[in-house]
């Protein structure tokens, strides 16, 4: 709604001129008062979230202005531009397109004004999915210093929608030069997306792309996982281990994602003791997957009692359903047949069902929940906002 309020500023400006002009020329204070009232009513509609009513009212005001041909040229341009934007905000994109295209082609307006019209045309085309036309206009605007950043941002949106990741990388690299960011999350994710499209025997170096991702965004867990898997494919398990273990430093929330591949690497290397050392370090973070993997190792190496004690101690420090489920299993194994054991079996089943129903991942930006890990939230379209639900 704030955006709509800003959108209405040109109307306010045009109307200020219109009202002053009308009242000075014809001394029609009653008309001015009516227009002022209309404008205030429109803003009040906006403030009370009645957007539809507000847009209708402003459209009516602008069309009345146009019909009476009372606006000076520069104000008319702004009013028409706004009129088009209002049509777009109401979903009438064909009318928005007609208005903005007429402004862009009119001999009455300057080069700079036409750039503004092009900027709105891009939004019109984007809203109806004509990405190729929006792209062509963005490419024109990139050469104009004042419009370059906005045009690159629109191009980035287009290439994400069309999944043209090489182009998305180029655009994000240019954007990073124009306005450097602290994290470069999008650029790193685009390197990863592009790397995923490359075939194993292609000309482009997949590893180099993933290293670039880590260079621009050192906390990019996805790049580490992909790079580790690349090393595994080449049977370079030592390098894979190094890169997988680094996930613990990058973002401990994601350590559950690398446990199975890390275990496989250590198994191939014949160094399961080192896997245990890693799990002991990682268990400080209270990740249930780590605790279960550690309990399995302890049971194999030492005894079931030792594994049970480990789970019990972890459960006291980091309570969670997954660990509790395992703990009940140990209790069932120890219990003698009878009502107490039957109750434990029932409880184990219920907790297991609850875990299965729960979502493993959740977007910290919009709350979207998922059973699988996604790097771009399908709901809010933000990158790296979906995180594992710890312990459920
Ligand atoms: Zn989201």
Which neighbouring-strand residues pair with 369? 362
Confidence of residue 200 (pLDDT cuts 50, 70, 90): low
Sign of CA dihedral 315, 319, 322, 325: positive
- Determine the distance separating the centroid of ligand 1 and the alpha carbon of 384, expressed in angstroms: 9
Residue predicted with more confidence, 323 or 181: 323
Note whether residue 333 is domain-resident.
Answer: yes
Distance CA 57, CA 53 (A): 6
Cα 138 to the chain's mean position, in Å? 22
Confidence of residue 70 (pLDDT cuts 50, 70, 90): low
pLDDT in tens, 303-325: 999 999 999 998 998 888 889 99
Note whether residue 151 is domain-resident.
Answer: no
- Determine the distance separating the centroid of ligand 1 and the alpha carbon of 338, expressed in angstroms: 48
- Determine the distance separating the centroid of ligand 1 and the alpha carbon of 120, expressed in angstroms: 27
Range of the domain at 294: 286-357
- Pair (322, 345) in one structural domain: yes
Residue that the structure tokens 């979502």 belong to: 359
- Determine the distance separating the centroid of ligand 1 and the alpha carbon of 363, expressed in angstroms: 5
DSSP 3-state of 376:
strand
- Determine the distance separating the centroid of ligand 1 and the alpha carbon of 129, expressed in angstroms: 22
- The tokens for 222 are 């996805």
End-to-end CA distance of the chain: 36
- Determine the distance separating the centroid of ligand 1 and the alpha carbon of 16, expressed in angstroms: 41
pLDDT in tens, 76-104: 788 888 889 888 988 999 999 999 999 99
Residue that the structure tokens 């290397």 belong to: 269
How does DSSP assign 69-126, residue by residue?
T-S-HHHHHHHHHHHHHHHHHTT-HHHHHHHHHHHHH-TTS-HHHHHHHHHHHHHHHH
Note whether residue 207 is domain-resident.
Answer: no
What are 313-317's contacts with CB under 8 Å, separation 24+? 314/283, 314/286, 317/286
- Pair (328, 381) in one structural domain: no
Whether the predicted pLDDT of 196 surpasses 60: yes
Note whether residue 150 is domain-resident.
Answer: no
- Determine the distance separating the centroid of ligand 1 and the alpha carbon of 369, expressed in angstroms: 9
Q: Mean pLDDT across the stretch 68-74?
A: 60
Give me the pLDDT at residue 391, please: 54
Q: Mean pLDDT across the stretch 213-226?
A: 97
Please give the order of strands across the beta sheet that includes 369-370. Answer: 369-370, 361-363, 386-388
Give me the pLDDT at residue 27, please: 47
Query: Residues with Cβ < 8 Å from 115, sequence gap 6 or more?
Result: 141, 144, 146, 147
- Determine the distance separating the centroid of ligand 1 and the alpha carbon of 368, expressed in angstroms: 5
- Pair (383, 330) in one structural domain: no
- Pair (345, 368) in one structural domain: no
Confidence of residue 349 (pLDDT cuts 50, 70, 90): very high
- Determine the distance separating the centroid of ligand 1 and the alpha carbon of 380, expressed in angstroms: 4
| Most confident of the ranges 15-24, 148-157, 331-340 | 148-157
Distance (Å) of CA 104 to CA 72, 129, 311: 18, 20, 69
pLDDT in tens, 263-276: 999 999 999 999 99
- Pair (353, 366) in one structural domain: no
Q: Is 6 exposed, middle or buried (0-12, 13-18, 19+ CB in 10 A)?
A: exposed
Note whether residue 270 is domain-resident.
Answer: no
Give me the pLDDT at residue 201, please: 65
Residue predicted with more confidence, 287 or 221: 221
- Determine the distance separating the centroid of ligand 1 and the alpha carbon of 146, expressed in angstroms: 31
Distance CA 228, CA 313 (A): 32
- Determine the distance separating the centroid of ligand 1 and the alpha carbon of 176, expressed in angstroms: 23
Kindly report which listed range (75-79, 111-115, 181-185, 210-214) carries the lowest average pLDDT score.
75-79
Residues at the annotated binding site? 363, 366, 377, 380
pLDDT in tens, 1-45: 445 555 555 555 555 545 545 544 554 455 555 656 676 677 677
DSSP assignment, residue 383?
B
Q: Mean pLDDT across the stretch 279-298?
A: 91
Helix, strand, coil abundance in the chain, percent, nearest 5:
75, 5, 25
Distance CA 39, CA 16 (A): 10
The number of residues making up the chain comes to: 392
Residues at the annotated binding site for Fe cation? 363, 366, 377, 380
- Determine the distance separating the centroid of ligand 1 and the alpha carbon of 376, expressed in angstroms: 8
Confidence of residue 61 (pLDDT cuts 50, 70, 90): confident
Note whether residue 245 is domain-resident.
Answer: no
- The tokens for 167 are 């182009």
For the chain, where are the E strands, in sequence order?
Answer: 361-363, 369-370, 386-388
Give me the pLDDT at residue 167, please: 97
- Determine the distance separating the centroid of ligand 1 and the alpha carbon of 188, expressed in angstroms: 18
- Determine the distance separating the centroid of ligand 1 and the alpha carbon of 356, expressed in angstroms: 22
The total of structural domains in the chain comes to 2
Note whether residue 13 is domain-resident.
Answer: no
- Pair (352, 368) in one structural domain: no
Measured at the CA of 84, the angle between CA 80 and CA 86, to 5 degrees, comes to: 115
- Pair (337, 352) in one structural domain: yes
Give me the pLDDT at residue 56, please: 75
Whether the predicted pLDDT of 295 surpasses 80: yes
Q: Is 273 exposed, middle or buried (0-12, 13-18, 19+ CB in 10 A)?
A: exposed
Note whether residue 312 is domain-resident.
Answer: yes
């Amino acid at each position: 709604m704030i955006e709509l309020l800003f959108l209405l500023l040109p109307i306010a400006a045009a109307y200020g001129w219109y009202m002053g002009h009308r009242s000075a020329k014809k001394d029609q204070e009653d008309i001015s008062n009516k227009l002022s009232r209309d404008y205030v009513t429109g803003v009040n509609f906006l403030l009370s979230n009645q957007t539809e009513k507000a847009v209708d009212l402003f459209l009516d005001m602008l069309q009345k202005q146009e019909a009476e041909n009372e606006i000076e040229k520069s104000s008319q341009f702004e009013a028409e531009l706004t009129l088009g934007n209002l049509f777009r905000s109401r979903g009438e994109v064909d009318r928005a397109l007609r208005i903005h295209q007429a402004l862009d082609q009119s001999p009455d307006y300057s080069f700079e004004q036409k750039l503004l019209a092009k900027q709105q045309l891009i939004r019109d085309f984007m809203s109806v999915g004509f990405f190729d036309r929006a792209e062509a206009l963005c490419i024109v605007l990139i050469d104009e210093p004042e419009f370059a950043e906005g045009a690159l941002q629109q191009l980035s949106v287009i290439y994400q929608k069309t999944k043209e990741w090489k182009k998305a990388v180029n655009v994000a690299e240019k954007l990073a030069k124009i306005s450097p960011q602290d994290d470069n999350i999008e650029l790193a994710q685009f390197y990863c997306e592009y790397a995923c499209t490359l075939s194993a025997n292609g000309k482009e170096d997949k590893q180099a792309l993933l290293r670039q991702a880590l260079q621009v965004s050192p906390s990019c867990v996805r790049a580490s996982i992909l790079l580790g898997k690349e090393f595994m494919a080449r049977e370079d398990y030592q390098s894979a281990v190094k890169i997988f273990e680094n996930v613990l430093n990058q973002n401990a929330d994601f350590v559950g994602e690398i446990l199975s591949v890390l275990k496989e690497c250590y198994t191939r290397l014949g160094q399961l003791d080192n896997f245990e050392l890693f799990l002991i370090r990682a268990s400080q973070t209270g990740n249930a997957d780590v605790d279960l993997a550690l309990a399995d190792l302890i049971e194999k190496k030492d005894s079931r009692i030792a594994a049970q004690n480990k789970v019990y101690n972890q459960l006291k420090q980091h309570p969670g359903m997954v660990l509790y489920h395992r703990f009940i299993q140990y209790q069932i194994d120890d219990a003698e047949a009878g009502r107490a054991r039957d109750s434990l079996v029932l409880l184990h089943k219920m907790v297991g069902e609850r875990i299965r129903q729960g979502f493993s991942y959740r977007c910290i930006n919009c709350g979207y929940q998922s059973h699988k890990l996604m790097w771009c939230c399908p709901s809010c379209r933000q990158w790296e906002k979906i995180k594992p639900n710890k312990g459920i």
